[in-house]
Chain A
Amino acid sequence: MTEFVYLYRGYELPASPGEMQKKTAKWMAWLKDLSDKGHLKSLGEPLQPGGKVVKGTKKQVIDGPYAEAKDVVGGYSIIVARDIEQAVEFSLECPIFEDGGSVEIRPIGQIELGDGY
């Protein structure tokens, strides 16, 4: 089994408290289902918009990330799947797609070399 991170990117927030509640409940149900099936390693965390970026040899600190709204990562979860195909399959029911967002699926970089190493 391999661990994958789901990065939730760029989605519209619902326009009314009633819709927000429906959407929250949908996400909770989707993650609960993954968890019940033993595929959720960590619930993950939301990421607040904004922050700082430090870059370059001069370690320049700038406000950011100034990505376009559609590219901002709004949160992540860590899941466990057999392989990338299964990780993709699990993501298909994510409510993010209703709101124009995307899920980026990245294997967490452990390389399995066996017990000898």
Chain B
Amino acid sequence: MDIEEHFFRHEFGRIVATLTQLFGVGNFALAEDVTQDAFCRAMETWKLRGLPKNPSAWLMATARNRALDILRREHTAIVSEPELTRFLESEWTLVPTVEEAFSAHAVKDSQLRMMFSCCHPRLSEDAQIALILHILCGFNVKEIAQAFVSSHAAIEKRITRAKKILAGSTKLFNLADADFPSRLSSVLQALYLLFNEGYHGSSPDAVRIDLCQEAMLLMNLLIGQPALVTPKSYALAALMYLNAARLPTRLDGSDNLVSLFEQDRSLWDHNLIAEGQALLNLSASGTELTKYHIEAAIASMHTDATSNEDTDWKQIVSLYDMLMAIHPSPVIALNRAIAIAQLDGPERGLQEIRVIHDLYRLSSYPFYPATLGELELRRGNYPVAKANFSTALSLARNPMERNFLQRRIDTCKKANVLNVINNYSE
């Protein structure tokens, strides 16, 4: 029997959250140690004896027994939450209380509370994401540094500081707290950024499907709780599902990036599209129209269309107009210009790019010159297109982007040669 993919990482997050709930957030380091210990035992046993019948229950039981030992031995040193402490102090109630903490619904609750705690307002967005990946998704410092193209030392510092702030809280975030709506916004933003990092991040792999999957798993945890779910959460979930449906075609067989216009739409995941569409319908209630709603609507315009020509670019442009109104950014403006180029031709697209406010903020973004190159190529302005792609190439962040841009440069060269030959023959 094989171990399910990412099983260790996911169980790690579940157990550490549960133990933190039991030991109190101030004892987070102890919860981590006990979890680590349970995993060492699992590894040492399983590698020789093979997997037990129920690996998840095995790990949970190991962690639960260790937790009972510690709570019996050191209950005076453990400062759990007041409502829990009462039950942990008496041997009569200790075992059932610990058992209860390891029940499926309590584990989910602990994971959610941990996720909200990771999005502490004193932490930057980057630190929140790093902490979520570390605690709930079981990535270590090295693996997080790889995902974010950051140095080991920088991530380590960020996580150490974030853990200190976490352990300094009096308890895990209470989901019934009055702060819930604002904290939910931070959680959604962190999951959104995590998904995007996987979808078009800067890591050497360009597409990190595992990061997208982690974001979606946590998102599912959140929308699986009827009491917590909001239209905004549904909208973000819809956005993830609809974009994830296109993941199988973002890379071709040789791991080259493939633009939306060249993707084989028959390979899109139609189950994910259907689920995304259902989530998008669920999000259409309430009064708040968020960037997630609009981005999900744009994604659904693409998944609805059978081809590039069949795409409702007019509708997409108006959705980008709405997005610019509530959440202006140069990257969104650039995407809007691309949609306008699809609708009214490359000249109009280029005009729109020239008037982007804060254009300078795109100066190190490879897809800014790449877009200029694409539109110039479509106009038949091959040397200018090639120069733009060369600029983009110098900004590329990973081999896949470099290959993609190199192929566009080659296309420009070929087109230019053909152009020259045609001019001669006329």
Residue ranges of A at the interface with B (Cβ–Cβ < 8 Å) = 13-21, 23-28, 31-32, 43-46, 48, 74-75, 77
Q: Which residues of A contact B41 (CB under 8 A)?
A: 46, 48
Contact (Cβ within 8 A) A17 B39:
yes
Known: A13-B40, A28-B51. A18 touches B6 (CB 8 A): yes
Within 8 Å by CB of B8, from A20, A31, A45, lies A20
Within 8 Å by CB of B142, from A15, A43, A77, lies A15
Residue of B nearest to A46 (CB): B44
Q: Could you tell me the distance in whole angstroms from the C-beta of B36 to the nearest C-beta in chain A?
A: 9
Contact (Cβ within 8 A) A24 B47:
yes
Q: A15-B142, A44-B49 given. 18 additional CB < 8 A pairs?
A: A14-B43, A16-B138, A17-B9, A17-B11, A18-B8, A20-B43, A21-B3, A21-B8, A23-B47, A24-B46, A25-B2, A27-B48, A28-B46, A31-B48, A32-B50, A46-B41, A46-B47, A75-B48
CB 8 Å contact bits of B41-64 with A (1 = contact, 0 = none): 111111111110000000000000
Q: Which residues of B contact A19 (CB under 8 A)?
A: 140
Q: Which residues of B contact A74 (CB under 8 A)?
A: 44
Summarize B's interface: helix, strand, loop or mixed.
Answer: helix
Tell me if B180 counts as interface (CB < 8 A to partner A): no
Contact (Cβ within 8 A) A17 B8:
yes
Q: Which residues of A contact B40 (CB under 8 A)?
A: 13, 20
Interface range for B? 20 to 34
Residue from the set B42, B44, B139, B140 with the largest chain A CB neighbour count within 10 Å: B44
Sample 23 A-B pairs with CB under 8 A, ordered by A number.
Answer: A14-B43, A15-B142, A16-B138, A16-B139, A17-B9, A18-B8, A18-B138, A19-B140, A20-B40, A20-B43, A21-B6, A24-B46, A25-B3, A27-B47, A28-B47, A28-B50, A43-B49, A43-B50, A44-B49, A46-B41, A46-B44, A46-B47, A75-B48
Contact (Cβ within 8 A) A21 B48:
no
Within 8 Å by CB of A18, from B9, B42, B45, lies B9
Known: A21-B7, A24-B3, A43-B50. A16 touches B140 (CB 8 A): yes
Q: How far is the CA of A48 from the CA of B6 in the complex (A)?
A: 26
Contact (Cβ within 8 A) B48 A44:
yes
Tell me if B143 counts as interface (CB < 8 A to partner A): yes
Residue of B nearest to A32 (CB): B50
Tell me if B292 counts as interface (CB < 8 A to partner A): no
Contact (Cβ within 8 A) A45 B49:
yes
Known: A23-B43, A25-B2. A17 touches B138 (CB 8 A): yes
Tell me if B102 counts as interface (CB < 8 A to partner A): no
Q: How far is the CA of A66 from the CA of B340 in the complex (A)?
A: 73
Q: How far is the CA of A43 from the CA of B42 in the complex (A)?
A: 15
